[in-house]
Amino acid sequence: MRKFTKIMAMLLAVLLLVGIMPPKAQAAGSTKLIALTFDDGPSSANTGRLLDGLKARGAHVSFFMTGQNAKRNPSLVKRAYEEGHQICSHTYDHALLTKLSNSEIRSQLDKTNKILDDAIGYDLAYSLRPPYGGYNDRVLSTANTPCYYWSVDTRDWESRNANAAYNMFMKYAKDGSIVLMHDLYGTTVTAALNAIDTLQKQGYEFVTLSELQVRRGITPMAGKIYFDIYPSSHGTDKPLSNPAISYQQTDGGKKVIIKGDSRARIIYTTDGTDPTPEHGYRYKGAFPVKDKTTVKAISVVNWNGFKSGIVSKKISYTTLATPKLTAADGKITLTGITGGANYYYTTNGKTPTSSSARYTGSFTAVPDTVYTVKGIGGGYYSSASVWATYGSSGKLYTDMRPGIWYYAAADRAVGEGMLELVGTKLAPHTAVTRAQLVTMLYRMSGSPSASGDMPFDDVPESAKYYEAVKWAYKSGIALGCGYDKFEPDEYVTREQTCTFLARYAQLCGKDLSGLSEKAIDAFADCDQVEPGLAGNVNAMCALKVVKGYEDGTIGPKYGITRAEAATMLTRLEDILK
């Protein structure tokens, strides 16, 4: 702290120094607490040594940092926060706030808060110590955060002498003191660590301002300034304990129970990472976890100044294997199951229970039925519940259920070989490429052979769609994109799809000349159709192969999905029969 510029501030400091403040009081408990604070840092020369010493002694303090020095030393800011110290503001450039306008005060604080947030990595709240001890009601109101003065000034900034600062500390410090020092000076670090050693032997704990107030039953108030936190009738509460993680066994696995200090909220994670101000869940009661889950938890009163350590527990248990449904020859079989265990299934979409039908071997499948399977009991924890739809095609789908608008068309397209599944997934909402669309038409046509050379240099002979593209070109369905390119991986638009389908219809002998020429006019965005493709789009609209969206548009430039492609292809197929 620099020399006071205000005579009143100097007088107040003297009064505090000689003890004309509340007399020394005795806490209801035996614990003696001191809030040691450091102004003006962090210092690249001294703060690191101070943090090393504090860590070795298990002491926590509060740092009132200037924005300028925090900006120069962000790693020290972050380290101090991560090691449990409270980070506070001392304005950006040690400004005398009583001489500033309200907007200038806010600028000083907001600028500093942003620097501290960036260094720590989280958006936190910061208490304030007005530089030079200069404050008034306007400053406190504008700052709108808890503010702190001091009850012991070691005058380390003045003496720059370790013994002198130590002696001042020892002469006036007592239970509940807020002690002022400055981590700009190496002599201060020496004096502070020596004082901590002496006072810890006398039973003192060194805590942050936030912890001191909570343990004394005081809630910090924005716009108020605190000079000390002496013991009162509230007594002294215990330190914040670490949360305790346990679990209880249930039929479905294990439920985690976390118990912690009633003064704090518990934040936990289940992905093995540490809980932070921006990552984690608020504990509200027992919750289930999967096998081999690492739960981490922390008790938090104030992320910046009063939180427990992080505890960790790995939850492991034996679980029934998750079954896999397979279908062949009209029967459903479960594979990958735990031998000797009980698996149950339902046909109504509900999760099985031990009262559901028990799987005893392959059974006849009913088309368009959703089968849900789960392993339950038998001395194991239940497996995950899995489901699949058995389609009329004889295929299983794990991403499509009966009743969805595209279900019948998609199942039919799969059954007829137009669409291929990826395992048991239809991927109905995946966009279709040019190569995929001509492949669907090629299969719909019976996969005929096509003679001649491939005209496109971007379709290699090794490509799965090679024959389909060659057929589409020779048949006049797909003419390419110019410069000997087909662009097989480009997504096909709705207007391009209509063109491919119209040409295919004509290839199959369908006469499109007698159709209404105004079918396309029913759509609000018909003017967005490429003029050269409008006739083909109109034909597909007239045949009701394309019906547009609920909002009255046709979306000519939109891509089509696999679900939409299946619907259009099966509609066209019915028309061409």
- Set 39, 156, 228, 261: catalytic member: 39
Contacting residues for 204 by C-beta, under 8 A, at least 6 apart: 32, 33, 34, 175
Q: Report how far apart, in Å, the C-alpha atoms of 13 and of each of 21, 131, 133, 134, 213 are.
A: 11, 13, 9, 11, 22
Residue length of the chain: 577
Burial bucket for residue 282 (CB in 10 Å: 0-12, 13-18, 19+): exposed
Quote the tokens at residue 282.
């608020």
Residue 271 known to be catalytic: no
Cβ pair 308, 298 in contact under 8 A: yes
158, two tokens: 């003045």
Side chain identity, residue 513: S
Handedness of CA 72, 74, 80, 86 (dihedral sign): positive
Tokens, residue 97: 């706030």
Read off the DSSP letter of residue 142: H
In our burial notation (b when 16+ CB lie closer than 10 A, e otherwise), range 222-239 reads eeebbebbbbeeeebbee
Please answer whether residues 561 and 406 qualify as being in contact, where contact means their C-beta atoms are separated by less than 8 angstroms: no
Which of 175, 182, 261, 411 is catalytic? The answer is: 182
Of 237, 548, 465, nearest to 537 (Cα)? 548
CA dihedral 184, 186, 187, 188 (to 10 degrees): 50
Cβ atoms of 17 and 23 closer than 8 Å: no
Secondary-structure percent of the chain, ordered helix, strand, coil, rounded to 5: 30, 20, 50
378 close to 340: Cβ distance less than 8 angstroms: yes
Q: Which residues contact 45 (CB under 8 A, 6 or more apart)?
A: 186
Whether 39 is catalytic is: yes
Active site residues: 39, 182
